[in-house]
Amino acid sequence: VDARNDLAYALIMSGDRESGKKELLSAFGDAMNPAPEISAYNLGRAYLEESNYEEAVNWFHTSISRNKGYTAPYLLLAEALAATNRMEQAVLELEKGAKEAPADAELLLALGRAYAKVGKKVEARARFEEAAKVDPSGPFGKAAGEQLQSLPR
């Protein structure tokens, strides 16, 4: 199944997007697929790249419903929602992800940024602090530290 996901993404990147999406859909429906959430995530990502936000949202939700602990779809789901001016919903989805994976610095950073965009500075500061604590020397922790510096008190 990994090979099918790889083939599908290679097709998408080569410009044969429809064949790639068909391959991902086939992989998702394969009863032998041990990780259908990855196929669903890749479908969501393909639709997001095409600015087909509703399909992207649907596939990211499908991915999450298959494995709530897989954090990648929460991030792109929030991006798709933000692209359609649904920031409050994006915040809610990132909050769900943070509950599932409270030590995921990238997710905490994204949640902090989302809070900042909707004007929730106290919540933003708390998530940036958590991200910096979880990943003090890593890229997400450092980015959180930078966000803390630029966040007005």
Question: What pLDDT score does 1 carry?
Answer: 67
The pTM is what? 0.94
The stretch 132-149 carries a mean pLDDT of: 97
pLDDT exceeding 70 applies to what percent of the chain? 99
pLDDT digits (tens, 9 = 90+) for 117-128: 999 999 999 999
Q: Answer yes or no: are the C-beta atoms of 109 and 143 closer than 8 Å.
A: yes
State residue 4's pLDDT score: 87
- The rounded distance, in Å, linking the Cα atoms of 141 and 3 is 33
Instruction: Report how far residue 130's alpha carbon sits from residue 144's, in angstroms, rounded to the nearest whole number.
Output: 9
- pLDDT at residue 70 greater than cutoff 70: yes
The mean per-residue pLDDT over the stretch 5-33 comes to 94
Is it the case that residue 68 has pLDDT exceeding 70?
yes
The candidate with the shortest Cα–Cα distance to 60, out of 118, 83, 114, is: 83
DSSP secondary structure code for residue 138 in this structure: S
Is 80 exceeded by the pLDDT of residue 111? yes
d(CA 125, CA 5): 38
Position 26 pLDDT exceeds 80: yes
The predicted model gives 23-51 an average pLDDT of: 95
Which pLDDT belongs to residue 51? 98
Q: How far apart are CA 129 and CA 19, in angstroms?
A: 43
